[in-house]
């Protein structure tokens, strides 16, 4: 088998490996993805971006979690994959449309290299059937829900993927790691869910700690930042431009008059990785 090469990038410490099937032979299966993402025996990553698939004028990517499950959408993943498309010469325009499992997303490069870009994240949806969530009414907005050992005010929102935003009095990495497994795997969410702990600092700043299905605690999340900001915006706690501070850094989330969300943030190229043959044995 010819050499298999992947590229690695991160967005605020949320790191992904890019596997390009057009420039490699073979395919990555679930076992290979799990091993590659494990930091003690593989390369280490919060997920794998598989693509591009160039079909009927579309540019499509598949997004996989470290456990091999497929995600509908990833805000940081979209920025990272867009940077790869720019680096590899697939995209030269200042703006293009990327297709994920959740649908089409417009990405705008804010500099020549693609170090920083703006992503149209679409509209937040609070309806329970869109998330999906069971055992609730039409929407889940600021509703007391029991997780682990206490009741927490929860607002659930779909950003193309499912998110549950909790607003305790204080947030921390320790609390996110404690609550995360209970929320992610709760009986209320048949497809599992991503969890954000949100603290509103003022009307233009929030803090978020994030625990994701299939990945666990993460330094940052684009969809998670948008979900936390959308929950705070829906509750009237923030204005239309919100800086979301996460463990790995900041993203800017902006709300258009019709409710559509733009997310702006950076991408950093780490390097390329050539895989050993045993990953395919």
DSSP strand pairing (241-246 vs 205-212): parallel
Residue 118 predicted with pLDDT over 80: yes
Residue 40: band (very low, low, confident or very high) from pLDDT cuts 50, 70, 90: confident
Domain boundaries, given as residue ranges, for the chain: 5-122+267-280, 128-259
Q: How far apart are the first and last CA of the chain?
A: 10
CA distance 231 to 238: 9
Instruction: Measure the CA angle with vertex 127, ends 126 and 128; round to 5°.
Output: 115
Question: Tell me, what's the pLDDT at 278?
Answer: 74
**What mean pLDDT is reported for the chain?**
95
Residue 1: band (very low, low, confident or very high) from pLDDT cuts 50, 70, 90: low
128-259 has the same fold as 5-122+267-280 = yes
Residue 120 predicted with pLDDT over 80: yes
Mean pLDDT on 82-111: 97
Q: Is 6 buried (19+), middle (13-18) or exposed (0-12) by CB count in 10 A?
A: buried
Residue 7: band (very low, low, confident or very high) from pLDDT cuts 50, 70, 90: very high
Question: Tell me, what's the pLDDT at 275?
Answer: 87
Residue 198 predicted with pLDDT over 90: yes
Question: Which class is domain 128-259?
Answer: alpha beta
Question: Tell me, what's the pLDDT at 218?
Answer: 95
Give pLDDT tens digits for 238-260: 999 999 999 999 999 999 999 99
Give pLDDT tens digits for 205-226: 999 999 999 899 999 999 999 9
Q: Of all helices (H) and strands (E), which one includes residue 179?
A: helix 173-184
CA distance 209 to 219: 8
Residue 34 predicted with pLDDT over 60: yes
Please say whether the beta carbons of 121 and 107 come within 8 A.
no
How many Cβ atoms are within 10 Å of 195's Cβ, its own excluded?
A: 29
Which listed CATH number (3.10.20.30, 3.40.50.150, 3.10.310.10, 3.40.50.740) goes with 5-122+267-280? 3.10.310.10
Residue 124 predicted with pLDDT over 90: yes
Question: Tell me, what's the pLDDT at 44?
Answer: 94
Residue 263 predicted with pLDDT over 90: yes
């Amino acid at each position: 088998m010819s050499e298999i090469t992947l590229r690695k990038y991160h967005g605020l410490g949320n790191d992904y490996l890019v596997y390009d099937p057009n420039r490699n032979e073979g395919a990555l299966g679930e076992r290979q993805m799990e091993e590659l993402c494990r930091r003690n025996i593989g390369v280490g990553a919060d997920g794998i971006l598989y693509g591009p698939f160039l079909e009927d004028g579309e540019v499509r990517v598949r997004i996989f979690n470290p456990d091999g499950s497929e995600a509908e959408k990833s805000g940081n993943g979209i920025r990272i994959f867009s940077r790869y498309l720019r680096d590899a010469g697939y995209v030269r325009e200042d703006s293009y449309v990327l297709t994920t499992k959740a649908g089409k997303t417009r990405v705008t490069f804010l500099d020549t290299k693609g170090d920083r870009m703006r992503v149209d994240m679409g509209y937040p949806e609070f309806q329970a059937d869109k998330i999906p969530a069971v055992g609730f009414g039409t929407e889940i907005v600021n509703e007391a829900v029991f997780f682990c050992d206490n009741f927490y005010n929860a607002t659930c929102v779909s950003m193309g993927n499912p998110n549950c935003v909790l607003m305790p009095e204080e947030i921390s990495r320790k609390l996110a790691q404690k609550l995360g497994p209970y929320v992610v795997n709760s009986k209320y969410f048949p497809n599992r869910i991503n969890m954000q702990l949100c603290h509103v600092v003022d009307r233009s700043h929030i803090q978020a700690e994030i625990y994701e299905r299939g990945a666990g605690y993460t330094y940052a999340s684009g969809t998670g930042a948008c979900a936390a900001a959308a929950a705070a915006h829906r509750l009237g706690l923030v204005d239309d431009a919100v800086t979301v501070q996460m463990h790995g850094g900041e993203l800017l989330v902006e709300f258009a008059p019709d409710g559509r969300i733009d997310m702006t943030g950076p991408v950093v190229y780490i390097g390329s990785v050539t895989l050993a043959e045993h990953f395919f044995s």
